[in-house]
Amino acid sequence: MTSSSKTLTAPAVVVTNLVKQFGRFAALRGVSAEFAPSRLYAILGDNGAGKTTLLRGLAGLTPPTRGNISMLGTTNLRSVCGQLGYMAHPSLLYDEMSGMENLGYFARLYDVNDKDRRCADVIRAVKLDPSLTRPVGQYSQGMRQRMSLARALLNDPKILLLDEPFSNVDVRSAREMVSLLAGLRDSGKTIFVVTHQASLLEGAADEFVWMEAGQIVSRTPELRPAETRLETR
C-alpha cells in the first residue's frame, strides 16, 4: 500500500475509550469508534445520550476526562482546529452585527484569503443574501441557523461538526441544507450531524450512529432498523 492510498483510507476521526464526567455524572461512558473520511454521519439518540458532549469533545471544547480523540491523524486537536467547522445549537454569532460583518470577523480568525468573496459565497451557499444589512439578532431563527452553518463552512473545513442544524428550520430549507451537506460530503468532507430529525438525513447520511446513556449502541447504514428499535422500546 502506498503512503497516499494509506492516507486516503485512514480514518478521519478515532475516539478511544472516551469518558467525560461532569462531577459525578458521566456524559460519555467509554465511547470507542472510528469514522472514515468523506462520509456523512448522523448522530442520534434521546436527550442526555451524550451526542452534544461527543461533538464538543471532537471540537476540542470539552476535553475528555479519560480516553483519546485523534482527528486527521493527530491527537493534538489544537493543531487541526483550522480544519474543523463547528456549528453549535446557539448561533455563535453576534446579534448586533450583520451576517457579512459576522463572517468577516470570523474569516480573520481563520486567515481566510479573499474574505469578502468567500463570505458572500458561503452566505449564498446557505441560500441567504449577503447584501442583507440588518443585524443577525433581527433574523428569523431559521435564517440564523443557516447563517450559523455559513460560519461553520467559512474556512472550508475537512471535518464539519453540526449540532442540531435543522432545529427551527422549515422543511424545505432543511432539505436544501441536507442536499448542501451531501454535496460537501461528496467533495471530500467528513460530516457529523447531531439531530433529532433523523428522517431528513435518510438517503443522504452514510451511517446512523445511535447513542444511549453515553455510549454508542449501534451504527447502521439505514435509518429504519434503529428507528424501529427505538420506537418499539
Binding site for another protein (CB under 8 A): 59-63, 78, 81-82, 84, 86, 88, 90-97, 101, 105-106, 108-111, 135, 151
Q: What is the crossing angle of helices 99-109 and 141-153, to 10°?
A: 30
Residue 94 CB, shortest distance to another protein, in Å, is 6
Go through the chain and tell me how many residues it has.
233
Residue 132 CB, shortest distance to another protein, in Å, is 16
What are phi and psi for residue 6, nearest 5 degrees?
A: -65, -40
Using the 8-state DSSP alphabet, how is residue 82 labeled? Answer: G
Q: Are β-strands 25-35 and 207-212 bridged in parallel, bridged antiparallel, or unpaired?
A: unpaired
Residue 101 CB, shortest distance to another protein, in Å, is 7
Amino acid identity of 97?
Answer: M
CA distances from 34 to 177, 180, 190 (A): 25, 24, 12
Residue 199 CB, shortest distance to another protein, in Å, is 28
Residue that is written with C-alpha cell 443522504 in the block: 204
Nearest to 222 by CA among 176, 213, 37, 204: 204
Considering the complex, state which of residue 62 and residue 218 has its C-beta at the smaller distance from another protein. Answer: 62
Considering the complex, state which of residue 157 and residue 214 has its C-beta at the smaller distance from another protein. Answer: 157
Residue 91 CB, shortest distance to another protein, in Å, is 5
Considering the complex, state which of residue 59 and residue 198 has its C-beta at the smaller distance from another protein. Answer: 59
Residue 99 CB, shortest distance to another protein, in Å, is 14
What are phi and psi for residue 112, nearest 5 degrees?
A: -75, 135
Considering the complex, state which of residue 128 and residue 230 has its C-beta at the smaller distance from another protein. Answer: 128
Beta bridge partners of 194: 43, 163
CA distances from 4 to 1, 8, 57, 121 (A): 8, 6, 28, 31
Query: H or E segment at 11?
Result: none
Considering the complex, state which of residue 96 and residue 222 has its C-beta at the smaller distance from another protein. Answer: 96
Considering the complex, state which of residue 112 and residue 201 has its C-beta at the smaller distance from another protein. Answer: 112
Residue 62 CB, shortest distance to another protein, in Å, is 6
Considering the complex, state which of residue 18 and residue 178 has its C-beta at the smaller distance from another protein. Answer: 18
Query: H or E segment at 94?
Result: none
Pull the grid cell for residue 167: 432545529
